[in-house]
Structure 1
Amino acid sequence: MPDQPLLIVLGGPTASGKTGLAIEVARHFGTEILSADSRQFYREMRIGNARPSPEELAAVPHHFIADRSLDAPLTAGTFAAKALEVLARLFTTHETAVLAGGSGLYIRALCEGLDEFPAVTEAARTRVQGIVEAAGLAGLQAEVARLDPEYFATVDRQNGRRLERALRVCFTEGKPYSSYLGKIPKRPFRPVYLQPAIGREPLYARINDRVDRMLRHGLEQEARALFPRRGQPVLETVGYQEWWPCFNGEYDRDRAVELIKRNSRRYAKRQVTWFREYAPVVGLPAVIRACARRDAE
């Protein structure tokens, strides 16, 4: 086996063919798939999150598919910890594993790690809000420069949210925000970031076709069953949230479907932008070649 096992990360936009490609890759390498789709974790969400079919799930062992209830939400940090445990077991007998999904934060949490910060106190939140109300962005900038000059030297000073987050941590623990950065242990594997090859127009056509297929399979009925739980953050997502105003009588079914298709295309565009930084666009032969190259390094 190589010094470090490989994690093939198949990302990319929704409806781009990640599921099928991941199964092909896993079969080729005789390995298993971990899902990094933050909506496919939940049993109650089956149609609107395009969960792999029973046949697809039976083709290759999968992890983190419908393994929990909406009542037990999985954060990116907790997912990473649990996924590392799964990989530790897999890598005792496999040289390669596959991570598939479009949730960039969850992929980054597993492959790179996330900095851990203390739980912010209500007093710290109130104090930061007071600065915002009294002095706005300039006040935030001045306070971060005073309490954490190291972070202030690198942060986007026009990004008020980042300044607020840094101050909340400073006020909670009395330590610079920067003191919590860069403490992530090195991962015991080498990631290979890839995504399926598909153009924008074919992708948008597949998104529209997928929504139509979901509707035929009962998406509206699934959303109605989840309507009483619509306040849960995981349901504030494309394919579900568009139904809530419809069910409240604010617009009709046709408008809900139109919005789902539009918002799915917009979500795909954001995913393309995120993954462009990480993953070249490839098909299955290129995946195999890329892994062979990394294995030879």
Structure 2
Amino acid sequence: MMSEKNLLVVVVGATAVGKTAVTIALAEHFKGEILSSDSRQFYKEMDIGTAKPSQEELAQIPHHFVNSHSINQDYDAGAFSTDAEVLLHSLFQTNEVQFMVGGSGLYVRAFCEGLDEMPETDLSLRETLNKELEEKGLDALLDELKESDPIYYEQVDRKNPQRVVRGLEVTRSTGLPYSQFRQGGKRKEHPFKILKIGLDMDRSKLYDRIDRRMDLMIEQGLFEEAKNLYPNRSNNALQTVGYKEIFDFLDGHYDKEEAVRLLKRNSRRYAKRQMTWFKKDEEVHWFKPDQLDQMIQLIQEVKPNE
């Protein structure tokens, strides 16, 4: 039975900042397990480009929601929130402190705070929109969004095709603006405590880590992995940095050197967006990745007494 005696520690931060290593160390110290809230590490077909924990890291601590789904399955933040709640009910039976880690801000928020009630839509509509995105380009979808839902148009990250497609998907399906469904409902309540820990580092150092990790991914076979996934490129799971750039290379839009440049640039931009999202959350306690002792001390202070 979950209760105030239980504590979920949620570790967030930008890509390549070191969330995996820190969370494993914390979980080892407190004898907990790890739930991934990374919206791309769910998918078993996407290994290199999602920077999943290594086999050695997965063997150190039990991980959940890594390689748990196929790219052909429709899995969103709401479904993750429900599934994670059920899993935690079980995990808290064996240990009062558990861990969640990931850089997908929407999935973290869905679990911790809840999301607005959204209408169900036909999956075929999303497939149609993704095909339009591929054939007509993002600007055409943005023009439609600006006309049909100017409020969401002003709010959305216009460089994120997935967010634009989602807005049009709801608007076309219901005939009502997507923004009308995003009014901010009642905050989700949990029977356990949540502590959010954020990892941050000097921007230039983070960007250097991102560039070096991308070089390693390419060396490990990122281009080959993307080529194998190319027939499924319209799947929602693949509308992400690290794959889209290679798909465009395979389509002949630019050469490999330019693809590598874009992979690094877009990964850095993604990291910047992640930090902007998490810095807005006043509940996050910020640390440098090497401040493990201070993180442990904070968890000890927040952790309910035995």
TM-score band by shorter chain is: 0.7 to 0.9
- The 10-residue stretch of structure 1 (110-119 or 84-93) with the greater mean CA deviation from structure 2: 110-119
Deviation at 1:120, TM superposition (A): 6.0
For 1:156 and 1:44, the matched residues in 2 are separated by 32
In the alignment of these two chains, the number of paired residues is 269
Q: 1:286 to 1:197 in 2, by over 3 A?
A: farther
Q: Deviations over 1:49-84 (max 9, x none)?
A: 001100000000000001111111310000000000
Number of the residue aligned with 1:241: 244
Q: 1:58 to 1:250 in 2, by over 3 A?
A: same
Number of the residue aligned with 2:56: 55
For 1:199 and 1:179, the matched residues in 2 are separated by 34
Number of the residue aligned with 1:22: 23
- In structure 2, the gaps of 5 or more residues are 126-142, 157-163
Deviation at 1:285, TM superposition (A): 1.6
Q: Deviations over 1:63-112 (max 9, x none)?
A: 00011111113100000000001100011221111100100000011111
Task: Give yes or no for the alignment of 1:291 onto 2:299.
Answer: yes
Task: Give yes or no for the alignment of 1:220 onto 2:228.
Answer: no
Deviation at 1:213, TM superposition (A): 0.3
Q: SS of the counterpart of 1:260?
A: helix
Q: SS of the counterpart of 1:69?
A: coil
Q: 1:166 to 1:35 in 2, by over 3 A?
A: closer
Residues 201-280 of structure 1: pairs in structure 2 closer than 5 A: 201-278=204-281, 279-280=284-285
- The 10-residue stretch of structure 1 (90-99 or 47-56) with the greater mean CA deviation from structure 2: 90-99
- In structure 1, the gaps of 5 or more residues are 123-131, 142-154
- The 10-residue stretch of structure 1 (105-114 or 275-284) with the greater mean CA deviation from structure 2: 275-284
Q: 1:196 to 1:179 in 2, by over 3 A?
A: closer
Instruction: Provide the TM-score with structure 1 as the length reference.
Output: 0.80
Task: Give yes or no for the alignment of 1:198 onto 2:201.
Answer: yes
Q: SS of the counterpart of 2:49?
A: coil
- Structure 1 consecutive aligned stretches of length 4 or more whose deviation exceeds 4 Å: 155-161, 163-172, 177-181
CA RMSD of aligned residues (A): 3.3
Number of the residue aligned with 2:131: none
Residues 1-297 of structure 1: pairs in structure 2 closer than 5 A: 3-119=4-120, 182-183=185-186, 185-278=188-281, 279-282=284-287, 283-295=291-303
Kept after mapping to 2: 8 A contact 1:79/1:106:
yes
Q: 1:210 to 1:181 in 2, by over 3 A?
A: closer
Instruction: Provide the TM-score with structure 2 as the length reference.
Output: 0.78
Deviation at 1:281, TM superposition (A): 2.1
- The 10-residue stretch of structure 1 (110-119 or 216-225) with the greater mean CA deviation from structure 2: 110-119
For 1:229 and 1:286, the matched residues in 2 are separated by 44
For 1:246 and 1:111, the matched residues in 2 are separated by 38
Deviation at 1:198, TM superposition (A): 1.6
For 1:179 and 1:226, the matched residues in 2 are separated by 33
Q: % of aligned pairs identical? A: 42
